Chains A and B, each alone.
Chain A
Amino acid sequence: MIVGDSKPLEEILEMIKGRDKVLVLGCRGCVTVCNVGGEKEVGILATALRIARKKAGQPPTVDGMTLERQCDPEYIEELAEVAGDYDAIISIACGVGPQFVAERYPEAAVFPGINTTFIGGALEHGVWAERCQSCGNCLVHNFGGLCPIARCSKSLMNGPCGGSAKGNCEISPEVPCVWHQIVEKMEKMGRLQELEKVWPNKNWLTSRDGGPRKRVREDLKQ
């Protein structure tokens, strides 16, 4: 899923300063799963904004609404009736949300209420970790199912580098060295020999480096 972090309340208050009617817009997709932008969080943020703005003598009108998804025009359409009623729409979906809302409603003032951080998964309740950099050419099966592009701080294809110490990355003892894990996993699977291969330079054209990406599926287009 796409994982995000709530922006600090002060930052959001500053963004919407001077705007009377505010709508907090949630999403039932990834951000609901990672507890940062679903219906529950819409309620929490709307309440917090109301209290803070009331205290500061600003108009406390803050409504909440949650769409099925904000990355789909079909659901963005549900805002058609109400978008014009607000002076500020705070999307707490991933970075796609505020952009889709702003594209569909050019007159609306749209603000991001969360920071989109990474594509990852939950390690345990309340803990998420990055797993994918969407490089566009998945190779994880060669590395024991672990991705060196997303999980090595240097995206090394031929690691581990000289900074790997006690199973951790040189950037922090809190960050595991994925190459250490790859070596251990491959050894355990009896596939260490495969890591003798020198991986050639990667083609980053399928990654963000090739420019903004777009997919057209002729079989699905109407």
Chain B
Amino acid sequence: MKAGSNLEKVLSAGHFAVTGELGPPQGNKAEEVRHKAAHLKGIVESVNITDNQTAVVRMSSWAACKILLEEGLEPNYQMVCRDRNRLALMSDILGATALGIKNVLCLSGDHQRFGSHPESKNVYDLDSLQLLAAFKKMRDEKKFLNDKDLEGAPEIFIGAAANPFADPFSFRVTRLAKKIAAGADFVQTQCIYNMDKFREYMKQAVDRGLHEKVYILAGVTPMKSVGMANYMAKFVPGMDVPEAVIKRLKGVDKKDQAKEGIKMAIEQIEEFKEMKGISGVHVMAIEWEHRAREIIEGAGLLPRPQVD
């Protein structure tokens, strides 16, 4: 065991894992975090807490993670390289693990230019792979990046993100391999809508044996409406929403589109359960936490396994 987190235990016991996601509020209301967390309690192994997602300022991820711990849920502390240099990243992981946080997700972070403060300066002292390597070094070698010894090293289960749908496609599995080489213990993918492309991606990953080196969790985000599908297809960089997905949603009454979106998510999860190399799903029901249970239950993934 690297960190002994619930997520790590469930995955290493060979169960099909489920993680959720929670975006902290654009304010300091702890109650909002608790409210969202309540919807996810007991239905996922752990919950990603986003870090100023889409470069919009929100309650700090570590603080929202702490609130989750108090509520009896396990957080995955998301950390982006956009907002902090190596000093702050190392310092924050020490603080986070001191608070009892056991999972981290290392990300580059969306560029601030399309966020809430586009005029800000960015950092990118490290990139996401270098961050993975830094945390692995801190955990395994018990050293800072400068090779000085740590007095108390972070025990942390290290995660990375992968977007199979970004370009160039031919390099995507290589980049996944690099993230594993850098230090990823688990990987969560971007929301998957183009199943054909994802099958091809996973085939390449399995051919390289990557599934034996890392736990891959497939990203699922239910579509709430045709409007959301159109928006994601057109405006979210690196998102691949095939025409067939939009067409299927258009095929039902407006009031039934959300239900159809959930049904589609469940069908995807059913396929992921059988797909070689997939160890679980990452359900990102963005601002829709109260519908997460419906999806997870509908996919036959409740109750969640208890592993000691």
Is A14 on the interface with B (CB-CB < 8 A)?
A: no
How far is B174's CA from A220's CA once the two chains are assembled, in angstroms? 48
The proximity string for A residues 139-183 relative to B, scoring 1 for CB distances below 8 Å and 0 otherwise, is 000000000000001111111111111110111100001001001
Whether the pair B238, A198 counts as a contact (CB closer than 8 A) is no
The proximity string for B residues 124-137 relative to A, scoring 1 for CB distances below 8 Å and 0 otherwise, is 11111110011000
Is B161 on the interface with A (CB-CB < 8 A)?
A: yes
Q: Which of A32-40, A54-62, A70-78, A199-207 contacts B (4 or more CB under 8 A)?
A: A199-207
The proximity string for A residues 191-220 relative to B, scoring 1 for CB distances below 8 Å and 0 otherwise, is 010011011111010000000000000000
How far is B175's CA from A143's CA once the two chains are assembled, in angstroms? 15
- Residues of A in contact (CB 8 Å), total 33
Whether the pair B127, A163 counts as a contact (CB closer than 8 A) is no
Most A CB contacts (10 A, CB to CB) among B108, B125, B127 go to: B127
Within 8 A of A (CB), among B141-196: 145, 161-163, 166-168, 170-171, 174-175, 177-178, 181-182, 190
Whether the pair A171, B111 counts as a contact (CB closer than 8 A) is yes
> Residue on A with the closest CB to B81?
A154
How far is B109's CA from A155's CA once the two chains are assembled, in angstroms? 12
Whether the pair A160, B168 counts as a contact (CB closer than 8 A) is yes
Whether the pair B110, A163 counts as a contact (CB closer than 8 A) is yes
Q: How far is the CB of B179 from chain A (nearest CB, A)?
A: 9
What are 24 A-B residue pairs whose CB atoms fall within 8 Å in the complex?
Answer: A154-B81, A154-B82, A154-B124, A154-B127, A158-B127, A158-B128, A158-B130, A158-B175, A160-B166, A164-B168, A165-B237, A165-B238, A171-B111, A171-B113, A180-B168, A183-B170, A187-B170, A195-B174, A196-B177, A198-B133, A198-B178, A200-B130, A200-B133, A201-B134
Point out residues on A near B: beta carbons under 8 Å: 153-167, 169-172, 177, 180, 183-184, 187, 192, 195-196, 198-202, 204
